[in-house]
Structure 1
Amino acid sequence: MMNDLTLKKIDLEREPIARQVTRALRQAIVSMQLLPGEMLSEQELARRFGVSRSPVREALIKLSEAGLVRVLPQRGTQVVKISRAGVEDARFIREAVECAVVREAALKATPVMISELSASLTRQRRAQRSLSTEDFLALDEEFHRLLAETAGRPSAWRMVEDIKPQMDRVRFLDMTKAVPRHAVIAQHAVIVDAIKSRDPAAAEAAMRHHMSEILRSLPELAGQHPDLFEPEAVMSPEVLSA
């Protein structure tokens, strides 16, 4: 899909070039513009961005550290296929962080922040049919970021951002069938209601349910798109009989 990839020219005045390239490539991978298994060319990416190869190389190193690409000696850089184990690990960590976040949010929420969360829900409801999957997921991210801000833990969201790209690729694959938008919004509403009620236990329970959705959809999506997923490891008979 390299020929179909369209990326905006870099705005040199906003922030360092390499950071912009990293963000743009990360989004292209998450949104499946760059498919799992696809080979990437530094030279071609540099041409499309209108930059030198140096910031592209730096961006690919960052993405390699994030587990989204791998460098193949003598061959180039490849978008990593989706690992079910990696998705499950990321979900485990994210659930732990976000459950702690909503417990604190239920205890610390100010009227202003509750109003912000309610406004975010309104934006999601208005956009559930009109926006692209990518844009709707941006509203989902906004909601979770607001939860961290409500809890007074903005750094918690930055931690989540670092671990969730594998989850995001799965969620992007088929939001309509796997986790319909109306279901996502309904789950968000339950979380907000618990925060409004100052009920940390209910907020945590609602978040755990919300985070568990991907475990139900993951096997189905892996079955529908086997070419996008890493093959699951098969245990040897010796290990199985141990």
Structure 2
Amino acid sequence: MAQRDQTTRMCALTRAEKPVAELIRFVLGPDGVLVPDTEAKAEGRGVWISLSHDAVAEAVKKKVFGRSLKTEVGLPEDLPGLTELRLVQRYLGALSMAKKAGQFVSGAMKVRGLLETGNLIALITATDASADGRSKMVGPWKALHHAAREEGISGFDVPHFELLSSEQLGLALGLENVIHAALTKGAAAQAAVEKARRLALYTAKPTDEGTGRHAVDGDLLPNGQV
């Protein structure tokens, strides 16, 4: 991930240089219709846009893709929505791979145990989790970071993602009632964390004051990551 972060590209909308981890690439398909290249591996000339639903929508509005590619570009009916769907699919696919590798744990008791020992690299909560159930996980999660600060451990970071519903998680993973989950150390789990960060960055929105799900101690954070 570090090497990917160091590689920069220019956002065709803002003209700002950014790490590719903060951008998403678009390419023309064989039929001349623009598609999101979420893994940035497709052949051909691409257009880089800041990893944001609003940025992609603005790029469509300002006809950035056609100007950048210097050709006529066909656009899907909802490119920002299609892009989000592809990012969701990549995230769920990565979670499935982490599960197969034994690096995905679900169930409140098991996840609570990992929080108490610190043997996790990410906490996952379904968007439809109850407020009480969520608080029982967020409390130990905050305590874990506080303990790391007290011990002077620099760079300690266990992100908390609230990105998908229990139904979405369950269907993708072949499990029932996935409300609380965690990722443990391993390459497959780390890949899932990276996919989650990208989805969280893309869907960033102001806090919904009705739920408080996207804020900690009054600070606004990316949608789905607290």
* TM-score normalised according to structure 1 size: 0.31
The structure whose RCO (Cα within 8 Å, separation 6+) is larger is 1
Compare the two structures and name the one with the higher helix fraction: 1
Larger relative strand fraction = 2
